[in-house]
């Protein structure tokens, strides 16, 4: 007997092999916007401590919420912890399910998992085009109708590294119907340097907004899978009802607690990111390649019609970057910032291929 699979699930792309490359020696892995540096030493110590507690179900989630509350000057009850922010994206879809409203709005080029989770939970996705490679909040507001349940914003935007600004968000959020939840995925917020990057947390009390952040990027814990949501306490307790108990393991929770405590380590990572950014700007200019100024830990580079071919040739030389065809940008690649050695390798290989 053959198992029947629904059409919406059949359409979800399947990339099992792509996930496996780059973990062996010799690969320069600049395709997933990871942190190229190991996390804080305090994280390693906390992992060793955690090992002595793994016979028990994981505790420590409340304490992690309290640590984050201290960092952001909020209450522990304003926080949700997830197995990566991906778990929280999924939880949001689950919790917000509504018979009469099943529309989700995302930008046309955006993180693929929003649409994947939307399909899994039976929502209909509307993709709103970018304007000059930026999220256009005016266009998003215009796309909202009486079926819209969730709007997914991502700031800085993966894959362009662009942002929308404080006053744009202020105008947008004030114009929304109360049945619509706005999820602001700020996975790369720590890297943003613009003074007009929105202070989204200031809107939590007054509007239905959930901010998502992660330990996978600036804190360098992608392999442990910890993300967090920040929202009004009522919204947080509502969403948390649909969360699996113990979905974050003890090692991850204790590592995240240690990472929050080591803010100097975070500052060092951000300084390295600034140097990598300058290196790419200068090197790409020298190669006469067009790029999008970025507020994140990656840069979108325009290579023209050879973008796919060049990505494959870089792959043959063990340099992984991301071709942007799946994001609707078939002339571009996205390069994540690596270590100085990795960045130099990437630019040298690009130069050779051009």
Residues in touch with ligand PLP (CB under 6 A): 33, 84-86, 111, 154, 158, 185, 187, 214, 216, 222, 227
CA distance 245 to 240: 10
Q: What would the two tokens of residue 122 be?
A: 């039976």
Find the shortest distance in angstroms from Cβ 102 to ligand PLP.
22
Closer of 101 and 213 to ligand PLP (Cβ): 213
Closer of 83 and 283 to ligand PLP (Cβ): 83
Closer of 31 and 283 to ligand PLP (Cβ): 31
Closer of 96 and 183 to ligand PLP (Cβ): 183
Task: Report the SS3 class of residue 149.
Answer: strand
Find the shortest distance in angstroms from Cβ 288 to ligand PLP.
29
Say how far residue 164 (Cα) sits from the centre of its chain.
Answer: 16
Closer of 46 and 158 to ligand PLP (Cβ): 158
Spatial CB neighbours of 255, under 8 Å, sequence gap ≥ 6: 39, 43, 46, 47, 50, 215, 221, 224, 226
Provide the pairing of β-strand 322-323 with 148-154. Answer: unpaired
Closer of 95 and 222 to ligand PLP (Cβ): 222
Residue 266 in contact with residue 219, Cβ under 8 Å? Answer: yes
Count of residues in the chain: 354
Find the shortest distance in angstroms from Cβ 160 to ligand PLP.
11
Query: What letter does residue 131 receive in the DSSP assignment?
Result: B
Closer of 180 and 221 to ligand PLP (Cβ): 221
Closer of 78 and 158 to ligand PLP (Cβ): 158
Cα torsion through 229, 231, 233, 235, rounded to 10: -90
Find the shortest distance in angstroms from Cβ 124 to ligand PLP.
21
* Number of other residues whose CB lies within 10 A of the CB of residue 211: 23
Find the shortest distance in angstroms from Cβ 337 to ligand PLP.
14
Quickly list DSSP for 70-117: HHHTS-GGGEEEESHHHHHHHHHHHHH--SS--EEEEESS--HHHHHH
Is-cis flag, bond preceding 156, omega within 30?
yes
Q: Which residue is nearest to ligand PLP (CB)?
A: 84
Find the shortest distance in angstroms from Cβ 184 to ligand PLP.
11
Whole-angstrom CA distances from 175 to 108, 138, 147, 170, 311 are 21, 10, 16, 9, 42
CA distance 6 to 49: 45
Find the shortest distance in angstroms from Cβ 162 to ligand PLP.
13
Find the shortest distance in angstroms from Cβ 116 to ligand PLP.
12
């Amino acid at each position: 007997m053959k198992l029947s699979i629904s059409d919406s699930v059949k359409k979800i792309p399947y990339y099992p092999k792509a996930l496996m490359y780059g973990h062996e020696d010799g690969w320069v892995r600049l395709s997933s916007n990871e942190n190229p540096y190991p996390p804080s030493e305090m994280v390693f110590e906390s992992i060793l401590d955690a090992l002595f507690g793994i016979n028990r179900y994981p505790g420590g989630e409340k304490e992690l919420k309290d640590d984050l509350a201290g960092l952001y000057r909020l209450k522990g009850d304003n926080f949700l912890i997830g197995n990566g922010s991906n778990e929280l994206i999924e939880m949001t879809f689950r919790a917000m399910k509504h018979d009469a409203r099943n529309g989700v709005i995302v930008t046309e080029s955006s993180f693929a998992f929003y649409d994947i989770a939307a399909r899994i939970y039976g929502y209909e996705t509307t993709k709103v085009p970018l304007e000059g490679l930026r999220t256009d909040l005016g266009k998003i507001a215009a796309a909202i109708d009486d079926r819209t349940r969730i709007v997914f914003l991502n700031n800085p935007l993966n894959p362009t590294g662009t942002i929308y600004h404080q006053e744009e968000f202020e105008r947008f959020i004030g114009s929304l119907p109360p049945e619509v939840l706005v999820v602001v995925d700020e996975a790369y917020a720590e890297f943003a340097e613009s003074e007009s990057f929105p202070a989204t947390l200031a809107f939590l009390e007054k509007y239905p907004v959930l901010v998502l952040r992660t330990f996978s990027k600036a804190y360098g814990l992608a392999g442990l899978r910890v993300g967090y949501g920040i929202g009004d306490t009522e919204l947080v307790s509502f969403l948390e009802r649909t969360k699996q108990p113990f979905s974050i393991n003890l090692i991850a929770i204790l590592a995240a607690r240690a990472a929050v405590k080591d803010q100097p380590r975070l500052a060092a990572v951000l300084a390295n990111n600034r140097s990598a950014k300058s290196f790419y700007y200068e090197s790409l200019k020298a190669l006469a390649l067009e790029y999008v100024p970025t507020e994140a830990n990656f840069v979108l580079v325009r290579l023209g019609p050879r973008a796919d071919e060049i990505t494959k040739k870089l792959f043959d030389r063990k340099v992984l970057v991301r071709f942007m065809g799946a994001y609707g940008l078939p002339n571009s690649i996205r390069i994540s910032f690596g270590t100085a050695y990795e960045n130099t390798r990437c630019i040298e290989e690009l130069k050779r291929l051009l």
